[in-house]
Amino acid sequence: MSSTHRPPPPPPPPVPSYAGPGSPQDVPPPANSFPIDPATLPGPIRDEVLAADPIALDTSAAELKDGLNRCPKCGATDIRHKPGSDLLICQYCRNQWHGVRVEEEFGLGTGIDQLKGRVIASGARQIEADAASLMSFKCTGCGAEVTVNTESTMTARCHWCRHVFGVNEQVANGAVPDAVLPFHISKDDAVARIRQFVHKRRMFALKAFKDEFTPENVIGVYLPYMIVDGNTSVDVAGQGEIETRRYTRGSGNKKKTYYDADVYKVDRHVDFTVDDLPLESSTKRGNLDARANTNNIINTILPFDTKNAVKWNASYLAGFTSEKRDRDVSHLHPRLEDQLLSIARAQVEASVGQYNRGVRWEHERLDVHGTRWVSMYLPVWLYSYHQASSKGGLLHYIAVNGRTGETMGSVPVQQWKLILAALTVGSILEGIAIWIIGASS
Amino acid sequence: MSDDGGLWLLLLAGPVGATGLYWGLYRHYRNTDKSHAFERETAVEAKPVTGWDGKVDEVKGTQKTRIPGDNVREYRKRVQRVQGDSG
């Protein structure tokens, strides 16, 4: 059964003979840090050190920097997203136009197998610690100050002259992404889906939840994600077993089955690319501890048709709330590595089908040749219910994917009802079991 | 144990049924076991898997039906990591 296809993967690179500061064995310094205080350096060197890092993909839109999204036909600023489409519509002259798809505009769907290093789009760059969430604009219409809190919203209206402002400039607070995927599922549709979802979870639902159930309170939220393309190789090694003989010993109730098997050392290597893997880029949403929160519900409705995302324009967010990104590429990289390894393990499974007693993987190695990171706002309809308890309670979500309509939720249960039902069924089964035993003895 | 000893196992039907029903319903309502199935739902383009297999040992007379520590389908369970290039 043994077959030789390929020599085993090369061992990890040998440890260099030198060690200490500056060697690969040293802990690397933080990004953008310099070992000497730049202020003590000569002018030209200081300027070089302090110059901004190059941004590989610039998705910021120069025409939107003053915060005013103007209709290309009449110049009005009251622009909204046309529900159910990717169109923007001018509320003044009814002109409609389509946002530019980032996929084509920035060539995001191509060349993944050629990716080398980290390519980070301008909207996904590092968040600066002192960047404020509150942004103020000077209205070009009347000169008034208009403030937008980017923690939860990306548009505002000047209360003096009614100009509508959107946060379009890619400031370093993480609020402005590279792209946005507009809502396609309407609110009525989302309400119907939530109603349907809860309808088949009524019997053991918490009474207070049922009493207060008002799916019309669903909120459209744009949540921040990093969409990652990756070019990767993975090696896995372990042992697999193939059954060679199966036999029984003993008789009657003492009869037992025994197995003989051949043990093989198994190595596998796979090169692959992933296209548009979504990762939550807010700390809150990325915490998927199902004991403490129900964020896994929102995670479940992934993925989105991110190929159709359009270049950022705050007008798409008019009437919706948003959450701000607070995680950088470096924070998300361990999670990406974990997911790439999981994908690789799924990819190699078909190649070890002959091991009918299973495979125990013992070592895995990941080589990330290149990644491309784009930040995006993705549309989610969220219905929430807070279940109070002495330990602080739990926020239950029912989420509808704003593009595909995929619905998932957490419905709080009435524990006593559920336990009573389980005990009742258990008792009936036990009664039948006792009857069978009694009848046969 | 008597000849009909296997029948006594039926007494477990009650507790097993009750526990199974409780957890089945609990998960149906709370969906605590759900997450994004990125292994299946991500667009992956993989080159053909290559590898090497070599017989190293034999097992005789085990009662276990699977290899100890079988994790071939537990994609998300990490094993010892050999340092590679993290990009």
What are the tens digits of pLDDT across the range A186-201?
899 999 999 999 988 9
Average pLDDT, chain A: 81
Q: For chain B, say whether A360 makes contact (Cβ under 8 Å).
A: yes
How confident is residue A209, by pLDDT bands cut at 50, 70 and 90?
very high
Q: Which residue has the higher pLDDT, A64 or A13?
A: A64
Q: State whether residue A378 sits within 8 Å of chain B by CB.
A: no
Write out chain A residues lying below 8 Å of B21, CB-based.
421-422, 425-426
Given an 8 Å threshold on Cβ–Cβ distance, is A12 in contact with B71? no
> Is the pLDDT reported for residue A368 higher than 50?
yes
**Nearest chain A residue to B71, by CA:** A360
Q: Does B39 touch chain A (CB under 8 A)?
A: yes
Give the model's pLDDT for residue A152. Answer: 72
Averaged over A297-318, what is the pLDDT?
A: 87
Question: Where is B32: in which H helix or E strand?
Answer: none
**Model confidence, pTM:** 0.79
Q: What is the pLDDT at residue A5?
A: 53
Write down the pLDDT at residue A208: 94
What distances in angstroms separate CA A355 from CA A263, A352, B57, B68, B80, one per listed residue? 9, 6, 14, 13, 21
- What is the pLDDT averaged over residues A102-130? 78
A101-115, A217-231, A365-379, A423-437 — which is least confidently predicted? A101-115
Pick A358's closest partner by Cβ from B32, B61, B72. Answer: B72
Pick the residue from chain A with its C-alpha nearest to B25.
A418
> Is pLDDT at A64 greater than 60 in this prediction?
no
**What was the ipTM of the complex prediction?**
0.90
- CB–CB of B39 and A338 under 8 A? no
User: Residue B56: in which H helix or E strand, if any?
Assistant: strand B50-62
Q: Looking at chain A, which residue has its C-alpha nearest residue B39? A: A343
By Cβ distance, the residue of A266, A274, A411 closest to B43 is A274
CA distance to partner chain A, nearest, from residue B24 (Å): 10
Q: Worst-scoring range by mean pLDDT, A25-39, A108-122, A241-255, B59-73? A: A25-39
Across the interface, of A12, A264, A418, the residue whose CB is closest to B26 is A418
Check residue A86 and give its pLDDT.
Answer: 79
Contact A421, A408 (CB under 8 A): no
pLDDT value of position A278: 95
State how far residue A201 is from chain B, nearest Cα, in angstroms: 6
Residue A41, pLDDT above cutoff 60:
no
